[in-house]
Structure 1
Amino acid sequence: MYQVSFSQNPNGFHIEGYPNAVKFAQPPDDLSKAYAHLWLHYEDLHFAHQCLSRLAEARPDDRILVQALWHSALVATFKCFQFSKARESLIRNNIYESGIQREVFDYLKNIRNKTVVHDENDWRQVLVGAVINPPSEPSKVEAALCFALSVGAPGQTDITNLGLVVERAIEWVQQQFDTKADSIVDELNTWSYDELTALPDAKLDVPTAASVGNTRNTPRR
């Protein structure tokens, strides 16, 4: 994989490193869909990896920072494997071997789904109780109280395992990304020069406040 460098100009943006290029063209959707989605997965996984790196440096007593980094790493990782209307999801069985790798993946995914995001399992509970007075008191019930029990800070084993999950996913995505890039180049090299220059210019839509609730249009078959 690579990092693209570009600069802006009055006509849009200029891709650096290709001084002889005459056009930056948008390939057809059937060629570019998977390629685009792999890049988005890579960005999320890279962010998760950075969160885990910062988590390793965080003080254990800084509970807010530890929890924020842990939650961010979990959400960014499993975002790549969850259903999305705008991009193809990664498939667990294509990346992780059967047995312990998939068991660890499922365990961490359940933390994300059932604890962090949706609060459905018993890792967070609230105990409600009524304080009952002795018969000599005028009021039989003194107060209603509640307090929470939460499995909060991650253990080192969970942090290490999530790091392994992320690193394996990044490795797989990078391999697929490079393969897809080569296949796009190979396919377009079979086209005539006129067909290539007739392709539309590659462009991005500018996001706005009005578009925040909409599902974006992505390359699709």
Structure 2
Amino acid sequence: MAEFFRINADNPQERLLNQVVNILRKGGLIIYPTDTVYGVGCDLMNQNALKKLIRFKGLKPNKMNLSFICYDLSDITNYVKHIETPTFRLLKKALPGPFTFIMQASNSVPKLVDSKKKEVGIRVPDHNIPRELVNLLGNPIVTTSLKMDDDIQEYPTDPELIYEEYGHLVDAVIDGGYGNIHLSTVINLVGGDFDVVRQGLGEIEDYL
């Protein structure tokens, strides 16, 4: 079973965060809170962990939409192509926040994830735990939302129940308090337009 960590969302304990980071560096999968639903993720730089994450979701590598959790805007520029000034201004206003921005991937991304994906979703959640994990790890966490069985529509919010359900499938579960039931708002920025692909918790109109 996975290790279970109770981490304070307001002031995350660095000792516990470092223990989780060590699990990530060894290729482990972790379940963790965000400003939206609980997510499952792994170290972007670990190919074996990426394969485990894809198996966890039951998808083929080319079918999985890749999203990264970054610490801040300076992180993002390493993984996407040139960001136009209007886009940069939008990102600066809206992040950290409950948004996933789809952008054109830089040339380094396909090599990292062994895929021909030309687009990537970028997340900078307004939540201390995932951002501090990324900060200590030194590179992004590949992330996807945690979902119960297909016939159950609601997302799990109780970390102890999440542990019972998924603890045998991952290496660590972080209890950072109850999760949200709403996903992030997904906005496609490829081509320079602001196209809302999925309306979630974030209201992008507040930042335009």
Q: Same fold (TM over 0.5)?
A: no
Instruction: Give TM-score scaled by structure 2 length.
Output: 0.26
Which structure features the higher share of strand residues? 2
Which structure features the higher share of helix residues? 1
Higher-RCO chain (CA-CA 8 Å, sequence separation at least 6): 2
Instruction: Give TM-score scaled by structure 1 length.
Output: 0.25
